[in-house]
Amino acid sequence: MKAGDARARRASGCVPVNGLQMYYEIEGSGEPLVFIPPAFGFAGSKSFPALTENHSVITMDLQGNGRTADIPARALSVEEYAQEVVSLLDYLGIAQADFFGESYGGNAALVIAARHPELVRRVATYAATCSPPQLALNPATTRVDAPPAADSRSMRFQRESYQRVAPDPDYWPTIFAKVAGIQWAGISKEELACIQAPVLIALGDHDFVRLEHAVETVKCIANAELAVIPDASHFVLFSEPDRVISVIKHFLEKPARRVPLATAVTGYYPGETR
């Protein structure tokens, strides 16, 4: 591991995880917050200063993403991503953390919450899905004349970002095909119902994810909340991150016990309802 100075509050390194040499970064100080990136995402591609004020934000490059080399014979899956994160935390000696996952990273965070509840304090997701794509995605924002290819203009940002940091930039067509081939079956309603940790399901109103799917997910989880970011696409965490991060920060840092929400019966009264 190499550590920066105290002012920067940064550390980075590679650790042996599930046959990988997984790259990770830690930024900030405070209770651990695990950020699980989206497909083709990697540590350092985003920075969340508002979250690093009170958290040690841990970001990793999952198999085949960023600086972590692929294992060609090993298929990619959301479940495998989740296990890689769990193994990383075990290696780092982190017994419990908050989680924030974006897109596929959000799917993985929910898998961890369902299958490793002892690790989880709170979970926030942006643009996550809990069902197969044909049920979870919005055809108005995902319909294309032909499926994107590795050299498509629509993948230019992800392609160029990958090639800047990958150990083998020419591996892009291979990792693109592997990620495109992920078969996400989702998380059953029964598993979602077992999640006891507080969960925030956030998405854009012009997301790839159907709003109705997000509402259905929130209904399945006992302590879930919904946040819809207006005038926002699937990629708002790249284009206008503060619009989401302010919501995430509020969710992660609010007191566990709060004044009850007002209803038509109780009405609003300062200090009694909100």
Q: How far apart are CA 16 and CA 6, in angstroms?
A: 26
* 123-147 pLDDT per residue, tens: 999 999 999 999 999 999 999 999 9
Rounded average pLDDT over 228-245: 98
Per-residue pLDDT, 1: 40
Provide the CB-side half-sphere exposure for 185 (13 A, CA): 4
The pLDDT, as a whole number, for residue 191 is 97
Give phi and psi for 102, each to the nearest 5.
-115, 130
Q: Which residue ranges form the domains of the chain, and what is each CATH number?
A: 2-253 (3.40.50.1820)
Averaged confidence pLDDT in the chain: 95
| Mean pLDDT, residues 148-154 | 96
Q: Look up tokens 């925030």; give the residue.
A: 200
Task: State the DSSP code for 267.
Answer: -
Average of per-residue pLDDT across 223-251? 98
The tens digit of pLDDT for each residue in 24-42 reads 999 999 999 999 999 999 9
Residues paired with 126 in a beta bridge: 102, 202
Task: Determine the Cα–Cα distance for residues 184 and 111; give it in Å rounded to an integer.
Answer: 12
Q: Nearest-CA neighbor of 25 among 35, 12, 36?
A: 12
Tell me what pLDDT residue 2 has: 40
Lookup: tokens for 11: 């550390």
Q: What is the pLDDT of residue 6?
A: 43
Collect all residues with Cβ–Cβ distance below 8 Å to 59 and sequence separation of at least 6.
24, 25, 26, 27, 34, 35, 36, 37, 42, 43, 44, 46
State phi, psi for 12 to the nearest 5 degrees: -150, 165
How far apart CA 250 and CA 139 sit, in angstroms, is 31
Q: Are 22 and 14 in contact (CB under 8 A)?
A: yes
pLDDT at residue number 192: 98
Distance CA 223, CA 136 (A): 21
Q: Give the model confidence (pLDDT) of 244-268 as tens digits.
A: 999 999 999 999 889 999 999 999 9
Choose among 160, 1, 162: nearest CA to 68.
Answer: 162
User: What confidence tens digit (pLDDT) does each residue in 184-206 have?
Assistant: 999 999 999 999 999 999 999 99
pLDDT at 4: 41
Gap between the Cα atoms of 168 and 4, Å rounded: 26
Q: Provide, rounded to the nearest whole percent, the portion of the chain with pLDDT above 70.
A: 97
